[in-house]
């Protein structure tokens, strides 16, 4: 019985990564729309209450270094994810309310910030 389950699982796994050029185009278009939404949030004062935007401290997401997360963040006193640091920035410099870590807005911000650093090698924990 275990052997049959393993064979069935392998069969499903084998087909899980098959997709078409149309799939890739559709998925990339969706990704681009989320990046665009992230840029709109990043440059908008609506994340906070004091008219400050993320873009004022980080033009074009500079000095955000998404490739280095997770890492120790002095402001938080712990090893943190990029999403946790984004929320720190929203709560402190922007004087706003934190986003749910799994929210559409947080995903969009992370997509935009990460897109701006495309092709930079991963370096978790680096300062």
Q: How many domains does the chain have?
A: 1
Kindly report, residue by residue over 26-63, the tens digit of the pLDDT: 999 999 999 999 999 999 999 999 999 999 999 999 99
Residue 1 lies in a domain: no
Q: Domain containing 25 — which CATH number?
A: 1.10.760.10
Residue 86 lies in a domain: yes
Residues 6+ apart with CB under 8 A from 54: 41, 42, 43, 47, 61, 89, 94, 109
Q: Are 109 and 86 in contact (CB under 8 A)?
A: yes
- Tell me the pTM: 0.85
Residue 13 lies in a domain: no
Residue 46 lies in a domain: yes
């Amino acid at each position: 019985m275990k052997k049959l389950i393993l064979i069935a699982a392998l069969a499903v796994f084998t087909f899980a990564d098959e997709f078409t050029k149309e799939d890739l185009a559709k998925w990339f278009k969706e990704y681009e729309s989320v990046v665009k939404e992230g840029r709109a949030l990043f440059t908008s004062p609506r994340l906070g209450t004091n008219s400050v935007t993320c873009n004022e401290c980080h033009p074009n997401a500079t000095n955000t270094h998404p490739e280095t997360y997770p890492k120790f963040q002095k402001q938080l006193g712990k090893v943190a994810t990029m999403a946790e640091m984004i929320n720190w920035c929203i709560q402190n410099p922007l004087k706003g309310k934190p986003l749910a870590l799994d929210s559409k807005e947080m995903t969009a911000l992370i997509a935009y910030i990460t897109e701006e650093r495309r092709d930079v090698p991963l370096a978790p924990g680096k300062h």
